[in-house]
Amino acid sequence: MTVIDQRPESSPQASGGDVRGTERMWVQMFRVFLSNKIAVLSALYCIGVVLFCYVGPLFYHSNQTDASSSILYTNLPPQKGFPLGTDYLGFDILGRLMFAGQSSLELGFLAALISLVVGVGYGVLSGYRGGWLDALLMRIVDVMLSIPGLFLLLAVISIWGRSKTLLILVLGLTGWFGDARLLRGEAIALRDREFAQAVRAMGGGSGRIIWRHILPNTVSTMMTVATFALANSILALTSLGFLQLGIPLPETDWGTMIQFGSQNFQIGCWWQIYPVCILFLLLVISFNYIGDAMRDMFEVRLRER
Amino acid sequence: MIGYLFRRLMQGIAVLFGVSFLTFLLPALEKGNVARAVLGNHASPLELKEFLHSHGLDQPFFVQYYHYMIGLFHGNLGTSLNPQTIDEPVSQVIAPYVPRTLWLVLISILFSTVISVVIGLFQGIRRNTIFDHSMTFLVFLLYSFPAFLFSTMTIILFSLTLHWFPPAVDSPTANGWFSPLVQMWNHPNQFVLPLATLTVLGVGGLTRFMRGSILDTMVQDYVRTAKAKGCSPNRVLFRHAFRNAVLPVITILGLSLPALFGGALITEQVFNYPGMGQLTVQATEARDVPVVMGLTLLVTVATVVGNLLADIGIAVADPRIRLTGKR
């Protein structure tokens, strides 16, 4: 870290938090990301999908809630007034993609947020404390990780049933086990570094070390973890929707659309399945490319160390 | 080696204890919800109380846990709450479904291992050629495909559009008889799409791993030594590099089991294959909690046993572990 060497009067805080080093690191990481053309394209696609779902309905009005008036228009092929046709309930597909996308993205985002907070807290606590607590907490993670995720989700849904809030909680609380393990490793690597010892020597408590020194140093791990958490929770939610165990009607999500679309393909309604499949597949691929690019950025940071 | 395997066995047993505690805990904590799932939302307090009493759910927590564990060791997982199979033992409901899913998963593991080892090996040798790049792209695509999307799209393409394969596996006969191997022998075309879906699920991750593993071993000292002492390129590759590169695949196979069982759940549901996955979905819809818990426990047992087998396989195949017990 040449930056620090140029500042002989640097405080221990600066050597721990790496204020100027961090700035340079961010710029460097961002450049690595930008040099990955496919990742940039993927990021643009994701932004595009978010805008499509939330800004789209402002410009494109369609009935998505009143089933009694839509029933006149069931299974119409693409035509004037319905650019992508209608579904089995008579709802406009283009508007349906936005409407379903909103719940998929919202639930996925909230679930990912919960799993990130829980996973980071759990992992950092386990790694920082160490000892018997660490052993206990990690054995619990071992147990949870050996249960196939979808089975765990269905087990919880079979007891509590399904509603929007419950789905968010269930997806969030069953998605953080791997994250916790990663963050635990980070915390173990950081807790005895010089800057943490310096804080301890000056009488700083564990809370300060974790909050001001360990967490800021795990930001890039957290970003990678967050990307995959978001991808995973949207994917799990869509799988549940596809199994017809997701958001109950009248709301809908992409998985439910894919399920009913594939059923109606047999009677020739191709417009009910292709758009949603293409939109969702590209989204999943984009997430994977962004995740990979994030990991490359992360490597840059490891080289820095 | 014995010490290493013993440690692994103990870890596996500890995990199974943990999972069985969870499958006990969830319904026990939420017994009101379980009762209402069966009796409906308008059940009177008296009915609720009778239900809890007759299912032993009104006893103290540790008494319930004691009975649960005693039952577990006798293969007793409780009784079904589904109106169609009410009061049948869970083990009896689940038993016919277990081998069906295991066959599906085992065969797909075999396929995906062979395919990804071959592709990964060639990618490793022909690094940075057009073949390597196009395979990397293809594998990334397959890796990204969610199970439900892949199976839906294969049905649309190969079954409903091209009419090459049927979109579903025949349902069991009226008396419930269904043997996966007999069915596979008589109607192999029904199994092409489900097995392809499950195989592709495995191929993505495995091929990526195999390519990296080959590239890693090709720069090791022992490979350079083999080259220096005049081994032919083929001998270097197969005698020295390949054997070392392929070993970790066994561990990865073990670790990919949970994802594979999740994929099997979706695949079974899509292709109407009467396995544990389809039973889980049906039991979840019927809110048949004991059956879902029993299935979750069983699938986890299969995962843990699979991981143990992978550990044993590695220990047998790798002298470093066989002799020192370390990796």
Q: What is the pLDDT of residues A88-101, one digit of tens each?
A: 777 888 888 888 88
The domains of chain B, with CATH numbers, are 98-274 (1.10.3720.10)
Measured between beta carbons, the chain B residues lying within 8 angstroms of A148 are 257-259, 261-262, 265, 299-300, 303
Residues forming beta bridges with residue A92, ordered by sequence position: A86
Please give the residue of chain B at the shortest CA–CA distance from A38.
B137
| Cα distance between residue B43 and residue B211, in whole Å | 60
- State the pLDDT confidence band at B327, using cuts at 50, 70 and 90: very low
Angle at A300 between CA A296 and CA A305, to 5 degrees: 140
Percent of chain A predicted with pLDDT > 70: 89
Exposed/middle/buried for residue A138 (C-beta within 10 Å: 0-12, 13-18, 19+): middle
DSSP characters for A171-205? HHHTS-HHHHHHHHHHHHHHHTSHHHHHHHHTT--
Nearest by CB to A262, from B140, B156, B257: name it.
B156
Please give the residue of chain B at the shortest CA–CA distance from A277.
B149
Is the CB of residue B249 less than 8 Å away from at least one CB of chain A?
no
Q: For A36-48, write each residue's pLDDT tens digit.
A: 888 889 999 999 9
**In this complex, do B296 and A147 lie within 8 Å of one another by their Cβ atoms?**
yes
| Cα distance between residue A303 and residue B13, in whole Å | 40
Q: For B42-101, write each residue's pLDDT tens digit.
A: 777 787 777 777 777 777 777 888 888 888 887 777 777 777 777 778 888 888 888 888
pTM: 0.83
**In this complex, do A142 and B140 lie within 8 Å of one another by their Cβ atoms?**
no
Provide CB contacts within 8 A for B262, sequence distance 6+: A148, A149, A150, A151, B147
Cis peptide before B290 (omega within 30 of 0): no
pLDDT of residue A117: 92
* Residue owning tokens 């919800």: B33
| Residue at A188: amino acid letter | I
Residues forming beta bridges with residue A86, ordered by sequence position: A92
Provide CB contacts within 8 A for A65, sequence distance 6+: A250
pLDDT of residue A305: 42
Is the CB of residue B32 less than 8 Å away from at least one CB of chain A?
no
Longest alpha-carbon distance in chain B: 86
Measured between beta carbons, the chain A residues lying within 8 angstroms of B280 are 151, 154
pLDDT of residue B10: 87
The domains of chain A, with CATH numbers, are 39-302 (1.10.3720.10)
Structure tokens at A155: 């087990």
* Phi, then psi, of B192 in degrees rounded to 5: -60, -50
Q: For B157-211, write each residue's pLDDT tens digit.
A: 888 878 887 777 777 665 666 677 777 777 777 778 888 888 988 888 888 888 8
pLDDT of residue A23: 60
A118 and A172 in contact (C-beta within 8 Å)? yes
Q: Give the three-state DSSP class for B287.
A: coil
pLDDT of residue B324: 63
pLDDT of residue B174: 56
| Cα distance between residue A157 and residue A134, in whole Å | 30
pLDDT of residue B67: 80
Is the CB of residue B27 less than 8 Å away from at least one CB of chain A?
yes
A187 and A278 in contact (C-beta within 8 Å)? no
pLDDT of residue B136: 85
Measured between beta carbons, the chain B residues lying within 8 angstroms of A155 are 23, 26, 292-293, 296
The pairs formed by A127-136 with CB atoms below 8 angstroms and a separation of 24 or more are A127/A183, A127/A184, A127/A185, A127/A186, A127/A187, A127/A188, A127/A191, A128/A187, A128/A188, A128/A191, A128/A206, A128/A209, A128/A210, A128/A214, A130/A188, A130/A191, A134/A184
| Cα distance between residue B223 and residue B240, in whole Å | 6
